[in-house]
Amino acid sequence: MAVARKSGLGRGLDALLAVDKADLTAGTIPVDNIDPNPRQARTRFDEESLEGLAASIREVGILQPIVVGPADQNGRHVLVAGERRLRASKLVGLDQIPAVVRESDEAARLAESLIENVQREDLGPLEEAEAYRALMEDFDMRHEDVAQRVGKSRSAVTNSVRLLNLPGQIQGLIADGGISAGAGRALLGLEDAARAVMIAQRAASEEWSVRQVEEAVRDRRAGTTKKARSKRERPAQIIALEERMEESLGTTVRIDYGARGGGKMVIKFGSLDDLERIYLGLLGG
């Protein structure tokens, strides 16, 4: 099974990875010809997160290639970087996967090439987000590390990567230019994925601004809250606090404020790695 890349995505593997023809080749290789990296430290992969990536691949294709070593005498490659993308591609049922073949295992050099090109290439918002995630997952960087290396704020990197948590249909609209990345980030405030897709599709067809999308999201959240709380309005301070925490932590935050002054707070995370990131963010680490 092949998943065609949407129009307007990417300038080729060499544009992202500074292909040096002397020691790097780019193209696609059979998924079944790739063996796991024996030095892969991570052994557990969040299934829900993998399903989300698989849905994205079905909609917009693979935005960052995996990296493999040269083929052995049997035509098999050893994976160097991209375990999560490879696993998700298998869930989708891909026969071939975009890959670069590194003649020597120089992960640090490859990371530097990716960083340099993220800084200077005019990437689409999803390509930029996937590049950041590749740096974190393939080269064991934190959000703070990536932000420092690419010259952006931690919140900018976090909010970029959050786009990859959107449903595949919304990612497709962003990739095709139907809605902006800002509109996509606004839609992250909805827990109802089906409703978020409906708003995104309407925003694309009617050419809404980001502010219009934000208003639709606020109206939806306010309506849900009103219904769930027997039409009792939530304090504006609580809503404002939610928005500030969402911006700081890069995820959905829900504060349920009781009439007697108590309540509870729910912080959403997409995977165990995401939970660790949020935990460190709360600690200020």
Report phi then psi at 80, rounded to 5.
-100, -45
CA distance 133 to 29: 22
Q: How far is CA 233 from CA 69, 225, 255, 258, in A?
A: 59, 8, 13, 11
Q: What's at 209, amino acid-wise?
A: S
Report phi then psi at 139, rounded to 5.
-125, 20
Tokens 């959107």 — which residue? Answer: 166
CA distance 129 to 268: 19
Whose CA is closest to 259, among 234, 240, 223? 234
Residue 57 near residue 98 (C-beta atoms within 8 A)? no
In the chain, % helix, strand, coil (3-state, to 5) comes to 55, 10, 35
Catalytically active residues are 83
**Token output for 218:** 């606020």
Which residues lie across from 30 on neighbouring strands? 96
Q: What's at 17, amino acid-wise?
A: L
Number of H helices, E strands in the chain: 13, 7
Residue 66's CB: how many other CB atoms inside 10 A? 24
CA distance 225 to 238: 12
CA distance 281 to 258: 26
